[in-house]
Amino acid sequence: MKTAARVRVLIVDDHQMFADGLAAALDREPDIDVVGTASLVSESVEKASAVRPNVVVLDQLLPDGDGIEAAELIKHEVPGASVVGVAARAVENGCSGFVTKDKSIDEVVAAIRAAAAGEAVIAPAMLARLFERYRRTPDAAGEALSARELDVLRLLGEGFDNQTVAERLAVKLTTVRNHVQSIIEKLGVHSKLEAVIAAMREGLIPPPRHE
């Protein structure tokens, strides 16, 4: 029987205690391997190229530069890697999602697994915070979306993953993935999370409800 591939994680954070604690916690997960840690932008790119992680947990500010900007360099070196930013600015650079350091380890693990699966699951309350931060950004709405693409976006905005969206719309998972890719291209963004924020900002789907 074929076993599921383990998720290879690279942690990039200059706070050694946080990085070590997260690495120790993740190493206890049966499906996750921490393949390295880094504390600098330059080091993170070199390590990502060497260890080929599935997911990179990336802090916002590092001693030699902006850690979130490092996401683009890492994804250039390892195109298949997903990046989970430890900051709200993660949405700007095509990250799969973001977490904050006050979240429980279970929530961080869930974000890592979602990123490894190509998802961008985010709690509605966190989505509301992102919407407030970016709703005044004067970007163009992009090419018109189809009715079905708007249906997909609405469900993503409610925090559902691709599989649940497919079930709710009674379509195949591959169909949802194709819609998501089309949405990203039409809105001129870099990730599913950024697409949801852009759609809310442009009034294409309802904004998140504050809890």
Domain spans of the chain, in order of start: 7-118, 125-201
CA distance 153 to 184: 10
Confidence check: pLDDT of 92 > 70: no
Going by pLDDT thresholds of 50, 70 and 90, the confidence category of residue 1 is very low
pLDDT at 26: 93
pLDDT at 208: 63
189 vs 92, which has greater pLDDT? 189
Global pTM reads 0.65
Q: For the chain, what is the mean pLDDT?
A: 80
- CATH topology of 7-118 equal to that of 125-201? yes
Domain 125-201 listed as CATH 3.40.50.2300: yes
| Strand order from edge to edge, sheet including 97-98 | 32-38, 7-12, 55-59, 82-86, 97-98
Least trusted range by pLDDT, from 105-114, 120-129, 154-163, 198-207: 120-129
The class level of CATH for 7-118 reads: alpha beta
Going by pLDDT thresholds of 50, 70 and 90, the confidence category of residue 120 is low
pLDDT per position as a tens digit, 167-179 = 999 999 999 989 9
Residues 6+ away with beta carbon under 8 Å from 138: none
- Tokens representing 171 are 């379509």
pLDDT at 175: 94
Confidence check: pLDDT of 9 > 90: yes
